[in-house]
Amino acid sequence: MEMEARCRGQRYLCPISGIDIIMPDLAFAFEEVTVDRDGVRALDGFTATVPAGGVSAVFGPSGAGKSTLLRLCNRLEVPTSGRVLFRGRDVAGLDPLQLRRQVGMCFQRPTPFPGTVAENLRAADPEASNTEMTAVLERAALIGSWLDRDATALSGGEAERVCLARTLITSPDVLLLDEPTSAIDAEAASLIEQAVLDQATGGMTVIWVSHDAAQVERVADRVLRIDHGRCTAVDGAPSR
């Protein structure tokens, strides 16, 4: 509760320096987070904050712990030690199902479910109307009339955008992206980048994991640099 009050007051007490600093509204705060998996330390005392709004990129080499960090945000993984705070509240104390509807996630490889595009969208929102589904497809840079298409027969880029639409239909406050363009062509990647930037402009907080420096330069408002499981720097990326 104390942390929540501090975040609401736009102040954050850095656990390392002990300095109470003024921050914009925080979406996530990571406090000395360590994750050990199969005898390997994926995160090693990671400490950083992610402000609400805009696009925050998590940038680092392969194996640095980027995906693990992302999976902590919606509790697909839990820390071995340390805390992850969502809007000032420890995610360990939140209902994971509710958290995951507030914090949507797109994975590195497209994961369309067997069935039509509409069935994929209804897996996320069983109550969704055709109008809502058409609108969300268009938000993900897809053709709205594709509802009857077989989702597993789409190209990689199209499938990734269906997955993006499937995540967006739950109206999340935060969008986690785990290198969603790493396995698709440049044109499809550009469509996804633009679609995500549109969401960020609309007020959604985006956390985008990438190891592509050019892409980070294009999309990010700020960059969390990660290496060997630790946050090595937090930069602004003013080019956008």
Partner 1 sequence: MNGPVSWLGLVTSLALVAVAVVVSMWRHLGLGWQIAWAAARALVQLLLVGVALGLLLTPGRSLWWSWAWIAGMVIYAGDVARRRAPEVPRMASLAIASFAAAAVITLGVTFGLRVLPLNSRTLVPIAGMMVGNSMTATVLAARRLVDELRDKRDEVEARLALGQPSRLAATPYVRAALRSALSPQIETTKATGLVFLPGAMTGLIIAGVSPVHAVLVQAVVMFLILGATATTTVVVALGLVVRVFTPDHRLRPLPLGGRKRG
- With CB under 8 A as the contact rule, the residue among 41, 89, 149, 211 that binds partner 1 is 211
Contact segment (CB under 8 A) with partner 1 among 45-53, 65-73, 82-90, 184-192 equals 65-73
Answer yes or no whether residue 67 interacts with partner 1 by CB under 8 A: yes
CA distances from 82 to 75, 227, 234, 237 (A): 14, 18, 20, 28
Residues 26-55 that bind partner 1 (CB under 8 A): 38, 42
Answer yes or no whether residue 183 interacts with partner 1 by CB under 8 A: no
Distance between first and last Cα of the chain: 36
Answer yes or no whether residue 62 interacts with partner 1 by CB under 8 A: yes
Query: Which residues, in sequence order, are CB contacts of 119 under 8 Å at separation 6+?
Result: 113, 151
Query: Which residues, in sequence order, are CB contacts of 204 under 8 Å at separation 6+?
Result: 172, 173, 174, 175
- With CB under 8 A as the contact rule, the residue among 39, 114, 202, 236 that binds partner 1 is 114
119 token code pair: 């069935």
Answer yes or no whether residue 76 interacts with partner 1 by CB under 8 A: yes
Answer yes or no whether residue 123 interacts with partner 1 by CB under 8 A: yes
Which lies closer to partner 1 via its Cβ, residue 75 or residue 230?
Answer: 75
Which lies closer to partner 1 via its Cβ, residue 135 or residue 183?
Answer: 183
- With CB under 8 A as the contact rule, the residue among 50, 51, 77, 205 that binds partner 1 is 77
Query: Which residues, in sequence order, are CB contacts of 69 under 8 Å at separation 6+?
Result: 30, 33, 43, 46, 58, 209, 226
- With CB under 8 A as the contact rule, the residue among 9, 24, 96, 203 that binds partner 1 is 96
- Contact predicate 117/149, CB 8 Å: yes
Answer yes or no whether residue 98 interacts with partner 1 by CB under 8 A: yes
> To which H or E segment does residue 193 belong?
helix 186-201
To partner 1, the closest distance from the beta carbon of 15 in angstroms equals 24
**Cα–Cα distance for residue pair 49/84, rounded to 1 Å:** 10
Q: Which residues bind partner 1 (CB under 8 A)?
A: 38, 42, 62-68, 71, 74-78, 96-98, 100-101, 104-105, 107, 109, 111, 113-114, 123-124, 163, 166-167, 170, 179, 209, 211
